[in-house]
């Protein structure tokens, strides 16, 4: 009788431990998804700002067509990746965002050669908004990668890896924007 109660007690404890571990995985996975959605909002905000920035620069620096076209193309590419069926993977999105950040950095650097553009209130406001958005993207990326790291550590660590395997919980991808060695404007730190 005592052995039966002991076995039932052990089974109940193991069941509670499995349920708690699974609940923690669900919580972490939802946190990863929510942090990605927050990052997504900031990326969309940047996409929305690019046309206004390009238009303002074009008015003052019309012969800088190559940089303007590169920004427009990089934005279109990032939006295309962003709109993929089922959503983009963080790795694909990071490559597209890295390219966009690089050409935006070139666009801001180009503006340095045009004193009237640098003095334009509209350009200065857009540049400030872009800087703030880039800061939020950077913070969102760090938060997202932190939540991914926590989940991935649990997926790989014993004994939680057993629970992860039982419930098909897998590793998530980091959002790592490749460094491009972009020259940065002093007031605008793009990524």
CATH class of 2-166: mainly alpha
User: pLDDT digit string (tens) for 26-82?
Assistant: 999 999 999 999 999 999 999 999 998 888 888 887 777 888 899 999 999 999 988
Task: In whole angstroms, give the CA distance from residue 146 to residue 97.
Answer: 19
pTM value surpassing 0.85? no
Residue with the bigger pLDDT between 97 and 189: it is: 97
Query: Before 159, cis peptide (omega within 30)?
Result: yes
- Predicted confidence at residue 184, as pLDDT, reads 40
Mean pLDDT of the chain: 87
Per the listing, tokens 């076209």 go with: 69
Task: In whole angstroms, give the CA distance from residue 96 to residue 75.
Answer: 8
- For the cut 80, the answer to whether the pLDDT of residue 102 exceeds it is yes
Domain ranges within the chain, ordered by starting residue = 2-166
User: pLDDT digit string (tens) for 14-38?
Assistant: 999 999 999 999 999 999 999 999 9
Cα distances (Å, whole numbers) of residue 44 to 108, 119, 125, 130, 139: 19, 27, 18, 12, 15
């Amino acid at each position: 009788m005592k052995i039966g109660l002991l076995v039932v007690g052990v089974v109940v404890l193991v069941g509670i431990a499995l349920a708690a571990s699974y609940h923690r995985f669900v919580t972490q996975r939802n946190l990863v998804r929510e942090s990605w959605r927050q990052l997504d909002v900031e990326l969309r905000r940047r996409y929305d700002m690019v046309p206004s920035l390009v238009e303002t620069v074009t008015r003052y620096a019309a012969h800088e067509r190559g940089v303007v076209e590169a920004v427009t193309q990089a934005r279109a590419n990032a939006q295309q990746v962003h709109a993929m069926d089922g959503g983009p993977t963080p790795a694909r999105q990071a490559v597209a965002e890295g390219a966009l950040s690089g050409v935006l950095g070139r666009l801001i650097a180009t503006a340095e050669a045009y004193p009237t553009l640098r003095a334009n209130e509209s350009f200065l406001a857009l540049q400030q908004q872009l800087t703030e958005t880039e800061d939020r993207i950077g913070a969102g990326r760090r938060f997202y990668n932190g939540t991914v790291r926590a989940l991935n550590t649990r997926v790989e660590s014993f004994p939680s890896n057993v629970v992860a395997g039982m419930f098909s919980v897998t590793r998530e991808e980091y959002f790592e924007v490749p460094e491009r060695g972009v020259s940065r404007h002093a007031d605008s730190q793009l990524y």
